[in-house]
Chains A and B, each alone.
Chain A
Amino acid sequence: MTTADGDESIMNNHITRVPSESDSITATAESGQDSPVLMLNLNRYTVAAGYPDGDEYLTYMAQLEESAGRVDGKVLWRTPAAGQPVGGEHDGVDEILAVWYPSHASFLRLREEPGSYEMYRLRQVCFASAVIHRCPGDRFPLQPQRKWACATICANQTHPGSMKLTGRLQDKVAIVTGGASGIGRAICQRFGREGAKVVVADRNIAEAEETLTLMGATPDNASMVDVNISDSFQVERMVNEAVTQFGRLDILINGAAILIRTPDLVDVDEVLWDLTMETNVKGVFLCCKYAIPAMTANGGGSIVNISSMSGVRGVGYSVPYAVSKAGVIHLTTVAASQYTSQGVRINCIAPGGVDTPQMRGSTASAEAFAGRNEGHPMGRVGTADEIANLVLWLASDEASYVSGSTYIIDGGAWAGAQ
C-alpha cells in the first residue's frame, strides 16, 4: 500500500522509506505513569519511545545503540551520573546529544526547547532505510510498570544481517518457548519484524521482558508468559492465554531446553537425566499436545522444534542432552505423521555450534569457546539470527509442502567431518 504522495511504503504496520528534508522530526518529553517519557516522532509517527530514568533509561539507550549499529551508526549520549535520580517532567531528555550515522555522514541532534526538544539537521538527514513502527492512534499506548518501548530505527536493507520486511508472518500468532535469550530471542525478534504477534514464553521473566523491549513490542503485538514447560497445567495455560489474547494460534516454536554437562553414561546422575528429559522432551511433548488442538481448531499451523546436532551425531558433552535432542527429532517425525493431514506442519532443526549465552556458558572457558571456530569449514560458529532465518522459513507459508523433516544447520561442519 502506498500513500497519496507516494513516498511511504506502508506495509505490515510498518513504514519503510528514507525520510526527506520535508519531514518533521521532533522529540518531546511527556509525563508518564511513573516517570518522564521520551518520544521521538517522525511526522505523525512515533519513531521511538522510552522511559528516560535510571536503569530503564540506560536499557533504552542500549537498545537504540544496537539498532543504530545496524546502519553503522552510533548514538552519542551523555549518560546520567550513576545512581542519579531523574525527576521532573523533562529531566533526562537533554542527555541526548545526537544520533550519528557515519556511513551517511549525517547526524541528528537535539536542541532543548522549553517543554519540548526540536531535532534539527546539521547535515543531510538520513536514517538509511528507516523502519518506523506505526503506533495506534499515533501515540504510544503506555502501560504502567512496563518497559514497552516502540520500535526504532533499524535495518539498512543492504547491511549484512538485516532483512527487508516482507510480512512473511503477517498477523500470524506465534508462541516461542525459550524466547528470553539466544536462538529463542532471535526468533522472537525476527518474527516480530515479519508481522507476527509473538508470545515470549520462558521462566526467565527479566530476560523475557528484555526480549519484548528489543522487539519494540506493544501490547497489541506481543506478550510474555512465565512457564515451566514440563508442567502440564502451565503449558495449557500458556496456550490458552495466547489464544485468548490474540484470537488464534498459528505457530509454535519449541526452543526451551536445558544443557547440563555430564560425564560418560555410567557416571550420569539419574536426577540429571530426569531433569533434562522432563524439560527437553516432555516439555516439547506438552507444548505440542496443547498447541495442536488450538491450531487444528483454526485450520492448521506450523510447529518448529529446536533439536541439536548432538541429537544427530550422538556426540557432545552431555549424555541426557544428546539423547533428549534425538528424542525431539523423532517426536517431530511421529507428530508430523499424525497431524500433517489436519493442516499442522511439524518440522525440526538441528543446529550445530551457535554463539548464544547457553553455548558460551556451557563451554568450559573463553579459550575453549574461541577454539570452536578453529577447524570449522566457515571458520566460525553460527549466529542466532542465522538459525532464526531457517525457523522463519519453516514457520512461514513458504514451507507449505514441508512437514516431518529435520534440517541440519551447522555451516557445513558435519558434512566436513564425513
Chain B
Amino acid sequence: MEKLIDIANRAVADYGFRQAVLYGVADIARRWELSEEESALLSGPVLAELSALPIPVQPADIPAEQARVAGVIRGRIRS
C-alpha cells in the first residue's frame, strides 16, 4: 500500500509524473513492483482521482490532495 501511496503522492505533486502514470499505468506498476491488487487499484480508482486533478495542483493544495487520494487508497484496501 505504501508504494501505491508513494506513486499517488508523486503524481499529485508532479504533472510530468502524473502523465507517466495516466498513459503508462502498466509500466509504472511494473517498475514499482506493485501487487495485483495494488495494480488494479492504481489503474482503477486512483487513476480516476489523478485524472480529475487540476493542472498543476497548486503548491498550497498538494498536501490536502495527497491526503485525499491516500485516503481513497487506504479505504479501498481496508474494504
Binding site for B on A (CB under 8 A): 203-204, 228, 258-261, 271-272, 274-275, 279, 318, 357-358, 360-366
| B63 interfacial by beta-carbon distance below 8 Å | no
Given contacts A228-B27, A258-B20, contact A358 B15 (CB under 8 A): yes
A-side contacts of B15, CB under 8 Å: 358, 361-362
Q: Known contacts A228-B24, A271-B32: does B16 contact A261 (CB below 8 Å)?
A: yes
**How close is B14's CB to chain A, nearest CB, in angstroms?**
5
With a CB–CB cut-off of 8 A, which chain A residues contact B18? Answer: 361
Q: Is the CB of A362 within 8 A of B14?
A: yes
B20-A360 in contact (CB<8A): no
Q: Is B16 a contact of A358 with CB atoms below 8 Å?
A: yes
Whole-angstrom CA separation of A272 from B32 in the bound complex:
11
CB–CB B31/A258 < 8 A: no
Q: A271-B32, A365-B58, A365-B59 are in contact. Are A203 and B16 (CB under 8 A)?
A: no
The CA of A258 and the CA of B56, in the complex, are separated in Å by 15
| Secondary structure call for the B interface | helix
Residues of A within 8 A of B59 (CB): 364-365
A181 nearest in chain B by CB position: B19
Which residues of B are found within 8 Å of A361, using beta-carbon distances? 15-16, 18-19, 55-56
Say yes or no: A366-B16 contact (C-beta < 8 A), given A204-B23, A228-B27.
no
Interface residue ranges, B against A (CB under 8 Å): 14-20, 22-24, 27, 31-32, 55-56, 58-59
Known: A361-B15, A364-B59. 14 other contacts (CB 8 A): A204-B19, A228-B27, A258-B16, A260-B20, A261-B16, A275-B20, A279-B20, A361-B16, A361-B19, A361-B55, A361-B56, A362-B15, A362-B56, A364-B56
Do B58 and A203 have beta carbons less than 8 Å apart?
Answer: no
Query: Min CB distance, A241 to chain B, in Å?
Result: 19
**B29 CB to closest chain A CB, in angstroms?**
12
CB nearest neighbor in A for B6: A269
Identify 12 residue pairs between A and B in the complex whose beta-carbon atoms are under 8 Å apart, listed by A's number: A203-B23, A258-B19, A260-B16, A261-B16, A275-B31, A358-B19, A361-B19, A361-B55, A364-B59, A365-B56, A365-B59, A366-B58
* Residue of A with least CB distance to B15: A361
Task: Please name all residues of chain B whose beta carbon is closer than 8 Å to the beta carbon of A364 when the two chains form the complex.
Answer: 56, 59
In the complex, are the beta carbons of B16 and A259 less than 8 A apart? yes
Residues from chain B with Cβ under 8 Å of A203 in the complex:
23-24
With a cutoff of 8 Å between Cβ atoms, the chain A residues found around residue B32 in the complex are 271
Q: Closest CB-CB distance, A168 to chain B, in whole Å?
A: 31
Contact A261 B31 (CB under 8 A): no
Q: Which A residues are CB-close (under 8 A) to B27?
A: 228, 275
Closest to B32 in A: A271
Most A CB within 10 A of own CB, among B16, B19, B22, B58 = B16
A261 touches B14 (CB 8 A): yes
The answer for the CA separation of A357 and B19 in the assembled complex, in Å, is 11
Contact B17 A357 (CB under 8 A): no
Contacts of A228 in B (CB 8 A): 24, 27
What is the minimal beta-carbon distance from A273 to any residue of chain B, in angstroms?
A: 11
Which A-chain residue is minimally distant from B19 (CB atoms)? Answer: A258
CB distance from A89 to the nearest CB of B (A): 35
B17:A260 contact, CB within 8 angstroms: yes
CA distance A275 to B16 in the complex (A): 11
Alpha-carbon gap, A357 to B15, bound state (A): 10
Question: Which A residues are CB-close (under 8 A) to B19?
Answer: 204, 258, 358, 361
Query: Which residues of chain A have C-beta atoms less than 8 A from B22's C-beta?
Result: 204
Q: Which chain B positions have C-beta within 8 A of A275?
A: 20, 27, 31
B33: min CB distance to chain A, Å: 10
Min distance, Cβ A251 to any Cβ of chain B, angstroms: 24
Q: Complex: how many Å from CA A203 to CA B28? A: 14
Contact partner of A363 (CB less than 8 A), chosen from B20, B23, B56, is B56
A357 to B, closest residue via Cβ: B55
- For the complex of A and B, the 5 pairs showing the least CB-CB separation, nearest first, are A361-B15, A203-B23, A260-B16, A259-B16, A361-B55
In-complex Cβ contact of B31 among A271, A358, A366 (8 A): A271
